[in-house]
């Protein structure tokens, strides 16, 4: 006779504590297993990189180190959800599946709809819990702020996981050998995965690093230390927003550096705000938030796009950021904004051609933040001030000595700081003197940035008077803006 079994299905919630589906499963009489499924159709998506999958795998490995004391583990399977469940069903009678709602792309939404009907036809109950701070099915933001604070202040769920079970996974859905080997390698330059790292980054941020949060937030080099660097842990759910919120508010250092930590907490709230936008309209991945910008013509040079991706535009800070994010998976907010602004404004390339590239580079890729932010910086919302970042000024202001640039563009190691922001100003003789040949060792700038910015400004600001842009702006403000009095 088949035995009853419940399943906790993990997605972007790779932790054991403050985990509602796990708590619900623990309280049932039926034993449960914990499952993570590597789904081929999702992994083929344009936004997925092996770095994300490695982060997932190593987060699970860490969970397993804890779970093995309890005689259980997270089962990692490979296949479409229906295939994996079908194989488990051969030997078990699955009663319930518990998971969090996923605020993902159209691809995960379609998968959710597909598996929902599969679960129903197989008489499996699927209970999806809402993520604290994000609500499914709301039509406007009335009361949203109040509910966010309420959620953040609720008690942390303290899971004592004792009855997690273990089953034999069918070889048909276990991880293929090569895939497993690829997951094992973890890139040196990237933040290590797992809850214990999330907690230790949070502690060092509260104890030491965070006091300079506001001072260095825009600096490509210093922000690597003074920002929390919690983004990958939040994105993959090694830690919950609520755990972070409460740890910050209750830490003795909060009172000592209140301005810095309140700025940080604001950002934690922005996180939910952006994910909420995307939850309501996940089409933001593929179409302009403001439909009026669909008619804006771009030149979409493939050569420019490639040079941007490779970090070979001839603009040192732009190239250093792109090379840095490729190796480390992280750059700060302002540099992300500058990369997008440079692509869409100076190079006149449609945001859609660059957005997946950066999604794959960011270890903290979170669809709900990524696409709305990308479009804000590309100027296609119609409701935000259009910001155009001058790549030379950003460089002079935020990396005046060129330390960050030299880290990532070794070709510049012997160039004095006066030329680091505009190497094209070096004469042939100076190039010889400093051991670099522009056009050979490092590219000439691919555009005249001042001319390109002027053209972009005329184009994008001119388009704001388009009647569709105006109509859409009103719709967006109504749907996504918080009424602060509520």
Ligand X SMILES: Cc1cc2nc3c(=O)[nH]c(=O)nc-3n(C[C@H](O)[C@H](O)[C@H](O)COP(=O)(O)OP(=O)(O)OC[C@H]3O[C@@H](n4cnc5c(N)ncnc54)[C@H](O)[C@@H]3O)c2cc1C
Q: Which is nearer to ligand X, 133 or 423 (CB)?
A: 133
Candidates 11, 51, 271, 346: give the one binding ligand X (CB under 6 A). 271
CB 226 within 8 A of CB 91: no
Is residue 373 close enough to count as binding ligand X by CB under 6 A? yes
Candidates 26, 174, 191, 228: give the one binding ligand X (CB under 6 A). 228
Is residue 369 close enough to count as binding ligand X by CB under 6 A? yes
Q: Which is nearer to ligand X, 97 or 331 (CB)?
A: 331
Is residue 360 close enough to count as binding ligand X by CB under 6 A? no
Q: Cβ neighbours of residue 306 under 8 Å, at least 6 residues apart?
A: none
Binding mask 106-125 for ligand X (x = CB under 6 A): --------------------
Is residue 332 close enough to count as binding ligand X by CB under 6 A? yes
Binding mask 286-315 for ligand X (x = CB under 6 A): ------------------------------
Candidates 164, 193, 337, 405: give the one binding ligand X (CB under 6 A). 337
Chain center to CA of 417: 33
Is residue 259 close enough to count as binding ligand X by CB under 6 A? no
* Closest approach of ligand X to the CB of residue 333, in Å: 4
Is residue 389 close enough to count as binding ligand X by CB under 6 A? no
Closest C-alpha to 311, from 330, 329, 324: 324
Candidates 49, 319, 364, 472: give the one binding ligand X (CB under 6 A). 364
Q: Cβ neighbours of residue 25 under 8 Å, at least 6 residues apart?
A: 6, 7, 8, 32, 96, 98
Is residue 227 close enough to count as binding ligand X by CB under 6 A? yes
* Closest approach of ligand X to the CB of residue 129, in Å: 20
* Separation of alpha carbons 69 and 260, rounded Å: 39
Q: Which is nearer to ligand X, 269 or 471 (CB)?
A: 269
Candidates 111, 251, 370, 406: give the one binding ligand X (CB under 6 A). 370
Is residue 377 close enough to count as binding ligand X by CB under 6 A? yes
Candidates 260, 268, 324, 436: give the one binding ligand X (CB under 6 A). 268
Is residue 336 close enough to count as binding ligand X by CB under 6 A? yes
Candidates 234, 322, 349, 426: give the one binding ligand X (CB under 6 A). 234
Contact residues: ligand X, CB under 6 A? 227-231, 234-235, 264, 267-268, 270-271, 274, 332-333, 336-337, 340, 362, 364-366, 369-370, 373-374, 377
């Amino acid at each position: 006779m088949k035995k009853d079994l419940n399943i906790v299905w993990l997605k972007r919630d790779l932790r054991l504590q403050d985990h509602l589906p796990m708590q619900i499963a623990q309280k049932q009489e039926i034993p449960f297993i914990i499952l993570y499924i590597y789904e081929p159709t999702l992994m083929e998506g344009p936004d997925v990189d092996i770095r994300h999958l490695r982060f997932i795998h190593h987060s699970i490995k860490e969970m397993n180190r804890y779970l093995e004391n309890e005689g259980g583990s997270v089962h990692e399977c490979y296949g479409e959800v229906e295939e994996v469940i079908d194989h488990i069903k051969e030997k078990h009678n699955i009663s319930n599946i518990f998971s969090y709602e996923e605020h993902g792309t159209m691809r995960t939404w379609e998968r959710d709809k597909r598996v929902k009907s599969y679960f129903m036809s197989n008489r499996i109950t699927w209970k999806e819990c809402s993520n604290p701070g994000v609500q499914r099915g709301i039509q406007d933001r009335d009361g949203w702020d109040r509910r966010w604070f309420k959620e953040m202040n609720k008690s942390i769920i303290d899971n004592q996981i004792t009855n997690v079970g273990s089953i034999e996974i069918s070889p048909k859905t276990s991880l293929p050998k090569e895939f497993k080997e690829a997951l094992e390698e973890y890139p040196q330059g990237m933040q290590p995965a797992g809850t214990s790292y999330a907690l230790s980054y949070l502690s060092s941020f509260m104890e030491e690093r965070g006091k300079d949060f506001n001072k260095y937030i825009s600096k490509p080099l210093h922000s690597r230390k003074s920002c929390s660097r919690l983004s990958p842990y939040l994105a993959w759910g090694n830690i919950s927003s609520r755990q972070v919120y409460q740890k910050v508010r209750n830490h003795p250092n909060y009172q000592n550096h209140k301005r810095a930590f309140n700025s940080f907490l604001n950002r934690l709230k922005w996180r939910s705000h952006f994910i909420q936008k995307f939850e309501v309209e996940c089409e933001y991945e593929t179409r302009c938030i403001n439909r009026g910008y669909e008619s804006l013509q771009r030149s979409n040079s493939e050569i420019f796009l490639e040079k941007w991706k490779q970090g070979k535009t001839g603009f040192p800070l732009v190239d250093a950021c792109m090379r840095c994010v490729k190796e480390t998976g992280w750059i700060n907010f302002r540099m992300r904004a500058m990369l997008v602004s440079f692509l869409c404004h100076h190079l006149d390339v449609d945001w859609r051609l660059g957005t997946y590239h950066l999604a794959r580079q960011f270890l903290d890729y979170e669809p709900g933040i990524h696409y709305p932010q990308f479009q804000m910086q590309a100027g296609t919302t119609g409701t935000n001030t259009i910001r155009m970042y001058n790549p030379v000024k950003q460089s002079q202001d935020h990396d005046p000595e060129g330390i960050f640039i030299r880290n990532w563009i070794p070709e510049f190691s012997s160039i004095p700081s006066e030329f680091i922001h505009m190497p094209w100003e070096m004469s042939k003789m100076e190039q010889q003197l400093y051991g670099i040949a522009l056009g050979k060792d490092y590219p000439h700038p691919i555009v005249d940035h001042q001319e390109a910015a002027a053209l972009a400004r005329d184009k994008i600001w001119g388009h704001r008077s388009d009647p569709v842009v105006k109509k859409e702006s009103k719709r967006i403000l109504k749907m996504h803006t918080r009424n602060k009095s509520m």
